[in-house]
Structure 1
Amino acid sequence: MSTVTRFAPSPTGWIHVGNLRTALMNYLIARKNGGQFILRLDDTDQERSKEEYADGIKADLEWLGLHWDRVEKQSLRMERYREAADTLRAAGRFYECFETPTELDLKRKKLLNMGRPPVYDRTSLNLTEAERAAMRAEGREGYWRFLLNQNRIEWTDGILGPISIDAASVSDPVLIRADGQVLYTFASSVDDIDMGVTFIVRGADHVTNTATQIQIMGALGGRPPAFAHHSMLTGAEDEKLSKRFGTLSLRDLRARGVEPMALLSMMARLGSSKPVELAGSMEELIEGFDVSSFGAAPTKFDPEDLFPLTRHHVQGLPFAAVRERIAALGVPDAEAEAFWAVAKGNITVLADLAEWWALFRDGAEPVVDEADREFVAKALAMLPAKPWTQGTWGEWTSVVKEATGRKGKDLFRPLRRALTGRDAGPEMADVMPLLRKVPTV
């Protein structure tokens, strides 16, 4: 059987690192096995789903190089869900309920106070048609639950290992709300059968959903796929990331200069037994991916860890990969390659190039200690006329050394700080040919 995986985000917001982890794992499994990767937009919530978010999801995946084989939209499959609901009704596995949210909440609290699990008591299961009619006459709107077989639901998880859940400890899931909205648990079960999905990787918070969906799929005559549930991400201090995901969207990380390969490299290894290290290509990520190497324990994620990986990636880029970006800064073609050679070892993200070009083009604000002011002024007066070459720095500092007697860091550090405003940076021999202006001290 051909491998088919899917990434099924709801277009109700921008995707974040947690979503990416799920998308990437499914993508890598499909590509490693020569299978299909489906992008499915779970947009049955028409009130919250927006086209701009759907477009944003696609743009983020394209930026990362996660190319899908086809796109599906749940909003276009409503008739199919109605057919599936009729199948469950005919099989006696779908029943209409009428409790209000307040009534359900009171039931849950009563059970908890009694020390019992808050499992729905199936009050509505045996209502007669006359009783249902009476409920509707009172203005109550019916919603639909799936009738679970109260046995153990078992599967071997690709990450968590053997799983066994007692269905009697789980409430019959609501699959269609009173307003007619088809809920995730139902729509996903129908889609995964119809689309031939063979492997699903998702977060450990879906384990109970998986148990109920295995029964739903079976009731619909389908064969459940294999499942793997990855660990949940936490912050560097073990705090929940859910409230921070608004600042950890892929859009935000991209705006901060994080490179796609840095992000992919981290997410392909984070939480596994393999060390996180920068991959050289998507092919390398695909070849080295093994879902069974991941663990169940919550996984720490610090977005700042993306920047050393980004720095490593950026500093290894060939000039051809950045030529257009450098040209956009206004760097003359004749100086562009030399500028990249000088600047690349001193940047973390490509946006840092603008600061270096501004320094070369406009000159730096000199940093001069009061004790060095007279020395620096004297040294600057000895600067040879332009054009400067790579030999200029050595020739100039030799003359200054001879005239002032300074040497070592007492010679070089004040002059670097005067010309660049920095304590460290590229080799000054390489900097000199690019400097346009001499500071005034």
Structure 2
Amino acid sequence: MTVTRFAPSPTGYIHVGNLRTALMNFLIARKESGTFILRIDDTDPERSKEEYVDAIKQDLEWLGLTWDRVERQSARLDRYAAAADKLRDMGRFYEAFETPTELDLKRKKQLNMGKPPVYDRAALSLSEAEQEALRAERGAGVWRFKLNQERIEWTDGILGDVSIDAASVSDPVLIRGDGQVLYTLASVVDDTEMGVTHVVRGSDHVTNTATQIQIIEALGGNVPRFAHHSLLTGPQGESLSKRLGTLSLRDLRAAGVEPMALLSLMARLGSADPIELRSEMEQLIEGFDIERFGAAPTKFDSNDLYPLTARHLQSLPFEAVEEHVRATGVPADLGPLFWEVTRENITTLRDLEAWWLMCRDGAQPVIEDEDREFVAEAMALLPEGPYDRDSWGSWTTAVKDATGRKGRALFMPLRKALTGQAHGPDMNKLLPLLQNIRAKG
């Protein structure tokens, strides 16, 4: 059975980069009727916050990315300790005591000599007495996994055939000196014990994948099918790293972006297929193919979300937005007409408030000097409300007969006088919603 996972760290809010990973893993699992695991990477007690765990769940629920079960890495520390013991027994795990400064000096020396800046495994030559002396002086060391220095190869779901020389990679630190288990070990143990079959993540994890494959094999696990998606850039190709904080899902939600607009974009962005607005999750699941995605950096522009949001809203019946329309203050009897009138003229649901304020309180009239007499004469012919869908036609016919104006010269000044805008909804439908026509006075 297909098993995928999304493993966010609860150290902040989910942003669009995280979403791409979550969505791809979700779609793979659902397309294969498999299992999608939400795995909270909370092994760092200092930075992990419960409020972010709750926020992650809320954001995924808002998007409809439902999970089959939740796992907490902080509840699995005994499993990581057992794996570490197994690696020690195999001679694949060793303690190292270099300080960050010492490691930096070693890297600089290697670079100056034209060598790759990888850890030189000096700790392997320490005697037990030397190790004890270093522990007494510096405290516990870090624990490194001893790589077999050979080529690590796999067929990537996006990148194709990948081959990395393990000799060009430092033996990875899996446990810090303070005992904290790092992602590289925790992820391998979880993927192995939870039967994860597919792992999709960013291309910045390619080297991690190479080392994790060796750790998986050392622990006797089955290597999942890996796929590494491209990293997102800004619309001009600039790095998004400094902007991701402003591209959190909750910020986009607060800005009025609709879930299906966001999902429709992210399910195709960076693939060979065009962006197509979908109305339901099942359509995204059916049309998803990880092999259609490319390795090149992918441009993301949050402005692209708003035309998709507008188109999505235009397709919705009143029943789908009734609660939001009523929350705006629109009376129940006017709700269906209000939505019919405004949905073609909004970008997000947040725009409804301005439309209702205009309908309820009246707009500031916009009247050109050359139209003042005409508007005054026209307004004098406007009967008292309430109005219906025939009122605009009856009134403008009367104004035409009285003034001789017709076409744009007739309709535009009246629209601007009533709404303060040169463009907008069909006036036959809008006039019945106007509660307070300021130009009348």
Question: Which category describes the TM-score, using the shorter chain as reference length?
Answer: over 0.9
Residues 97 and 138 in structure 2, CA contact (< 8 A), matched pair in contact too: no
Q: How much does 1:242 deviate?
A: 0.8
What residue is the counterpart of 2:418 in the other structure? 419
Deviations 1:271-294 (A, max 9, x none): 001100101210110011000000
> Aligned to 1:243, what secondary structure does the other structure show?
coil
What residue is the counterpart of 1:54 in the other structure? 53
Distance 1:250 1:164 in 2: 35
What residue is the counterpart of 1:236 in the other structure? 235
Distance 1:91 1:377 in 2: 94
Q: Which shifted more, 326-335 or 358-367?
A: 326-335
What residue is the counterpart of 1:398 in the other structure? 397
Residue 371 (str. 1) matches residue 370 (str. 2): yes
Q: Which amino acid aligns with 2:292?
A: S
> Aligned to 2:13, what secondary structure does the other structure show?
coil
TM-score normalised by length of structure 2? 0.98
What residue is the counterpart of 2:278 in the other structure? 279
Q: How much does 1:245 deviate?
A: 0.3
Q: Which amino acid aligns with 1:386?
A: G
Q: Which amino acid aligns with 2:188?
A: S
Distance 1:94 1:376 in 2: 86
What residue is the counterpart of 2:200 in the other structure? 201
Q: Which amino acid aligns with 1:430?
A: K
Deviations 1:347-385 (A, max 9, x none): 111111111111111111111112212221221111012
Runs of 4+ in 1 over 3 A off after TM superposition: none
Residues 257 and 305 in structure 2, CA contact (< 8 A), matched pair in contact too: yes
Distance 2:382 2:323 in 1: 34
Q: Which amino acid aligns with 1:94?
A: F
Q: How much does 1:140 deviate?
A: 4.1
Q: How much does 1:115 deviate?
A: 2.0
What residue is the counterpart of 1:261 in the other structure? 260
What residue is the counterpart of 1:409 in the other structure? 408
What residue is the counterpart of 1:85 in the other structure? 84
What residue is the counterpart of 1:172 in the other structure? 171
Deviations 1:116-174 (A, max 9, x none): 21010000012110110111222343110000000000000000000000000000000
Distance 2:140 2:369 in 1: 81
1:91-170 correspondence runs (5 A): 91-170=90-169
Unaligned residue ranges in structure 2 (runs of 5+): none
Q: How much does 1:329 deviate?
A: 2.1
Distance 1:418 1:381 in 2: 13
**What is the percent sequence identity of the aligned residues?**
69
Distance 2:138 2:227 in 1: 43
What residue is the counterpart of 1:224 in the other structure? 223
Q: Which amino acid aligns with 1:326?
A: V
Q: How much does 1:24 deviate?
A: 0.4
Q: How much does 1:405 deviate?
A: 2.0
Q: Which amino acid aligns with 1:363?
A: G
State how many pairs are aligned: 440
Residues 143 and 174 in structure 2, CA contact (< 8 A), matched pair in contact too: yes
What residue is the counterpart of 1:340 in the other structure? 339
What residue is the counterpart of 2:10 in the other structure? 11
Distance 2:139 2:41 in 1: 28
Q: How much does 1:106 deviate?
A: 0.7
Distance 2:205 2:182 in 1: 14
Q: Which amino acid aligns with 1:25?
A: M
Q: How much does 1:387 deviate?
A: 2.1
What residue is the counterpart of 2:296 in the other structure? 297
Q: Which amino acid aligns with 1:174?
A: V
What residue is the counterpart of 1:25 in the other structure? 24
Q: How much does 1:6 deviate?
A: 0.1
> Aligned to 1:125, what secondary structure does the other structure show?
helix
Residues 359 and 435 in structure 2, CA contact (< 8 A), matched pair in contact too: yes
Deviations 1:78-131 (A, max 9, x none): 111111100000000000000000000111111112222101000001211011
